[in-house]
Structure 1
Amino acid sequence: MSDRSWLAAASADVWHLPPGERRLAQAARLGARAADADLQIPEVAEGLLHAALSHWHTNGIAATDTAEVLHARATEMLDGARAVLAAAFDGYTRRTHAELARHDSARTAFVNDLLTGRAEPGHLAERAHRYGIRLSASHTVLVARGNGLDTDVGRRVDAALAARFGEGNTLTTIRRGDLVCVSAGGLRGIAAELAHLLLGELGAGTWQIGVGRPHPGLDGIATSLEEASNTLDHATKLGFTTSVLHAADLLVFPVLLRDRDAIVDLVTTVLGPLTAARGGPRPYLDTLSALFDNQGNHTATARQMHLSVRAVTYRLDRIKTLTGYHPGEPTQQFTLHAAVLGARLLDWPTPHPSGD
């Protein structure tokens, strides 16, 4: 029996029942079964309406009916058809949503096991095969973070990426509020395509994508995820607003943080004297950050900070007086820049009373 051959008989069964809850419950069950059989809504409507027409020809007209009676019966039939269709569509929608939820739950559980490596490898490999993932291959993990990311967005992005790059080359889900995409390591254009999709879904300026480096094997997936997530964490601390950030471009920051004692010593030694400045160190740190972001251009720095060039120059001279370092000196520029980046990463300084 084909997926559609049962529909005519099932639709007739609905109309054989008297109007009321039993008929509507039967229609809802028909809708759920249609969803399981991958029928489309128009097919369900056509089946029920065709059965309704047959029911009308069989039971709705009598030779002795007056025009008023016929009109009343037609009105009753139309009201009944509307109720039956609504019940069937509700059953269809509920079953579809339940199946999507089950699918999302299974996918999320698999991705969690994949990224944490907690599951038994043999069972994990068997589940990975269903999604077209070869655990021995190299993979890249992308993490998107921002407002508005939910399961519906995740489904649409997953379908779009699969259509663009092919089933088995990408696996996308929502995990702990982030959108996580596991992609084949050699896949080109995946970050740009994901950015394009998020722009359409969420608009501009509300999200960022961190891209880990490709790594082989099961442990490599977890490593790439950590790199992508850390890249977004660093971007938040450093105030980076670029939409797509690659871990490979930010390798200096894990290096800085790997020896926390050393970076703390660098920050406090180089920038510590700024805590004695009137108003505290924040205005001077912001000036240095803007200066380095603008490749040392005083005019662009002043424009970004809504200051005069003279005010920027004064602050830089004040930094030289307090710390002994000036960004205009080539031998001191790198040390100052590293110290400023370290201060951002450490969220230095902690709030304290202003100095004199």
Structure 2
Amino acid sequence: MSTGSADQNEHDRESGGPERGGPEADAVRAATVQRLERAMGELGTAAVARMESRLSWFRRMSAEDRSWVGLVAQSGVAAFVDWFKNPARGRPAITVEVFGTAPRELTRSVTLQQTVDMIRVVIDVVENQVEELAAPGGEQQLREAVLRYTREVAFSSAKVYARAAEARGAWDARLEALIVDALLHGDRDEGLQTWGSALRWSRTPVIAIAGYAGEDGESVLEDLRNAARRAGHDVLAGLQGDRVVVVLGVNDKDVRDDGVSGAVTEPLTELFGPGPVVVGPPVGELPRAGASVRAAVSGLRAAVGWPDAPRPALAEDLLPERALQGDPSARTQLVEEIYKPLRGAGSPLLDTLSVYLEHASSLESTARMLFVHPNTVRYRLSRIAELTGHMPADGRGSFVLRIAVTLGRLAESSEES
């Protein structure tokens, strides 16, 4: 044998086999394939057994999911043998040949990290048996093939989970928009609880926030979702034209005796586009959130009537504007919460308020018209503020009271006629 041939053989031994693509390499590969085909079943079984012993989360899975994982492992081994047998095929079709055997629901039971753990187990099983599986001289060839194949499996795993996450995100976004639309229009109440469960909704109370999207509505939606989830809230968000409606299940730490803390709404307000932002009243559960959504949207429409409204503004602070725009629930609330308590307290309070508003909020003029002392007027005005929560001497308060009294009288007139 020539020195050159001896050097070549020595090179082959050091590199683990003959040069790739040569006749001798093909012969070694064919012999290795035969060994692999005989050991396929044993490899798959050994991989599943190793998972049972090393992966605690695998032992906690349902029998059905474990069987699917076992099938994926078996398919992975079979696909590797087939790819190793035909090196001219190029990159293996991992997604179809391996993950195509499992249902899409498996991506919900097995996380990406757990998939990586499974791949490591299978690699260990195969690598530990390379000496027995490979034909003489083909150990390095098989070892390199395993590394290449597992790299493709890793990339394909990431692709499967990325696609699943993308599809799930798109489905969640469509479902969120559907729920927001149902809440706004007051229909499909019977399905809201089920839909909320599908989105893992669990927190109460629930509030709605309405504002405008600005130039990039989808970006605003995503920013609002991310900020709300980081704060620990459940969130639904929908884009309706240029309007954004967000429904929040509020984190317990942000609930106070007097309602939801401003710490919930103020950080989110900054993420809306230019224009007013209106917060609906809190409700006890998701199926009742329609009242909060409708109040917030009604307030958003009516906010143009109060240019100096705070941002965010409460829908209840916009009751006069909402009532003037034709919101029947706002009219009813003004009558029930302001006019009727005043009516029930007796005519002196209602008469004093009417005269006071008609005479430019003047104590002296009101006292003269009612033939009482100015201190009596002061006392009655303070009682009105206690009953209604609005100060007659305050510009905004007097406006709210005037609208409420007018609506109350119109309602009484309609009832009498």
Structure 1 residues 68-122: Cα deviation after superposition (integer angstroms, max 9, x where no partner): x71x544433222111111122112222332333333334323322321244xxx
Q: CA deviation at 1:210?
A: 0.8
Work out whether 1:50 is the aligned partner of 2:134. no
Give me the whole-angstrom Cα distance separating, in 1, the residues matched to 2:73 and 2:308.
59
Give me the whole-angstrom Cα distance separating, in 2, the residues matched to 1:196 and 1:47.
45
Tell me which residue corresponds to 1:344.
Answer: none
Q: CA deviation at 1:234?
A: 4.6
Higher normalized contact order (CA 8 Å, seq sep 6+, divided by chain length): 1
3-state SS in 2 of match to 1:87: helix
**1:273-352 to 2 correspondence within 5 Å?**
none
- Structure 1 range deviating more: 147-156 or 17-26: 147-156
Tell me which residue corresponds to 1:178.
Answer: 244
Q: CA deviation at 1:33?
A: 4.2
Out of 225, 241, 250, the position equivalent to 2:318 is 250
- Structure 1 range deviating more: 74-83 or 44-53: 74-83
Structure 1 residues 111-152: Cα deviation after superposition (integer angstroms, max 9, x where no partner): 322321244xxxx325435637xxxx9975322434555454
Tell me which residue corresponds to 2:69.
Answer: 7
Give me the whole-angstrom Cα distance separating, in 1, the residues matched to 2:130 and 2:212.
60
Give me the whole-angstrom Cα distance separating, in 1, the residues matched to 2:194 and 2:105.
29
3-state SS in 2 of match to 1:131: helix
Tell me which residue corresponds to 1:125.
Answer: 190
Tell me which residue corresponds to 2:268.
Answer: 198
How many residues end up aligned between the 2 structures? 244
For the structure 1 residues 217 and 29, does the alpha-carbon distance in structure 2 shift closer, same or farther, using more than 3 Å as the test?
Answer: closer
**1:19-168 to 2 correspondence within 5 Å?**
19=83, 20-29=91-100, 33=104, 35-58=106-129, 62=134, 64-65=136-137, 70=140, 73-119=142-188, 124-128=189-193, 131=196, 140-147=207-214, 150=218, 152-153=222-223, 155-156=225-226, 159=229, 163-164=232-233
Q: Is the 8 A contact 2:176 2:238 kept in 1?
A: no
For the aligned residues, what is the CA RMSD? 4.6
Give me the whole-angstrom Cα distance separating, in 2, the residues matched to 1:29 and 1:240.
59
Give me the whole-angstrom Cα distance separating, in 2, the residues matched to 1:35 and 1:157.
29
| Larger Cα-atom Rg | 2
> Identity, % of aligned pairs?
15
Give me the whole-angstrom Cα distance separating, in 2, the residues matched to 1:218 and 1:53.
49
**1:255-270 to 2 correspondence within 5 Å?**
none
Instruction: Normalising by structure 1, report the TM-score.
Output: 0.52
Structure 1 residues 16-46: Cα deviation after superposition (integer angstroms, max 9, x where no partner): 2123544441334368647544221111011
Tell me which residue corresponds to 2:297.
Answer: 229
Question: Which amino acid in structure 2 is aligned with residue 192 of structure 1?
Answer: G
Question: Which amino acid in structure 1 is aligned with residue 120 of structure 2?
Answer: L
Tell me which residue corresponds to 2:415.
Answer: none
3-state SS in 2 of match to 1:251: helix
For the structure 1 residues 229 and 28, does the alpha-carbon distance in structure 2 shift closer, same or farther, using more than 3 Å as the test?
Answer: same
Structure 2: gaps of 5 or more residues = 1-62, 84-90, 198-203, 327-394, 400-417
Structure 1: gaps of 5 or more residues = 165-169, 259-333, 339-356
3-state SS in 2 of match to 1:65: coil
3-state SS in 1 of match to 2:245: strand
Structure 1 residues 167-217: Cα deviation after superposition (integer angstroms, max 9, x where no partner): xxx652223151321669x96464634435537xx7698686311245899
